[in-house]
Amino acid sequence: MIPHNRPTLGPDEQAAAARVIESGWVAQGSEVNAFENELCRFFNLPDGHAVAVSSGSAALFLALWALNGKDKRVGIPVYSCSALRNAVGMIDGQSIYLDCEANSPNLDFVAVERAELDILIAPSMFGLPVKLPLHRTYKLIEDLAQSIGACVGNEKIGLRGELGICSFYATKLMTTGGQGGAVISRDKALIDLIRDYREFDCRNDRQFRFNFQMTDLQAAVGRVQLARLPSFIETREKWYSMYKLAGLSILSDTSTEVQPVRYRIVMRTRHPNRVIEALNTAGIRAIVPIEECELLDGTTDYPAAVALANSSVSLPAWPGLKEEDVLKITRIAGEFA
| 3: in domain | no
Question: How many residues belong to the chain?
Answer: 337
Same domain, 123 and 66: yes
Same domain, 127 and 233: no
| 5: in domain | no
pLDDT for the residue 300: 82
Same domain, 59 and 169: yes
| 271: in domain | yes
Q: What is the C-alpha to C-alpha distance for residues 187 and 184, in angstroms, rounded to an integer?
A: 9
pLDDT single digits (tens) 178-199: 999 999 999 999 999 999 999 9
Residue 337 has pLDDT above 80, yes or no: no
Q: What is the domain-level CATH number for residue 148?
A: 3.40.640.10
pLDDT for the residue 211: 94
Report the predicted TM-score, pTM, of the whole model to 2 decimal places: 0.96
Same domain, 23 and 153: yes
Q: Which residue range is the domain that position 268 belongs to?
A: 229-336
| C-alpha to C-alpha distances, 224 to 127, 215, 219, 263, nearest whole angstrom | 21, 15, 9, 19
Same domain, 155 and 297: no
Q: What is the Cα gyration radius of the chain?
A: 20
Same domain, 242 and 94: no
pLDDT single digits (tens) 280-330: 999 999 999 999 999 999 888 999 999 999 999 999 999 999 999 999 999
Q: Mean pLDDT highest for which of 129-133, 207-211, 253-257?
A: 129-133
Mean per-residue pLDDT, 92-114: 96
Mean per-residue pLDDT, 86-108: 97
- Domain final residue pick, 172, 196, 224: 224
| 310: in domain | yes
Same domain, 141 and 15: yes
Question: Rounded to the nearest 5°, which phi and psi values hold at 257?
Answer: -85, -10
DSSP result, 209-259:
----BPPHHHHHHHHHHHHHHHHHHHHHHHHHHHHHHTT--B-----TTEE
| 37: in domain | yes
| 190: in domain | yes
Same domain, 261 and 124: no
Same domain, 219 and 233: no
- Domain final residue pick, 191, 224, 257: 224
Same domain, 78 and 120: yes
Same domain, 197 and 278: no
| 104: in domain | yes
Same domain, 117 and 183: yes
Q: How confident is the model at residue 147 (pLDDT cuts 50, 70, 90)?
A: very high
Number of domains forming the structure of the chain: 2
pLDDT single digits (tens) 236-268: 999 999 999 999 999 998 788 999 999 999 999
In what side-by-side order are the strands of the sheet with 139-143? 50-53, 181-184, 163-167, 139-143, 119-123, 73-77, 94-98
pLDDT single digits (tens) 34-76: 999 999 999 999 999 999 999 999 999 999 999 999 999 999 9
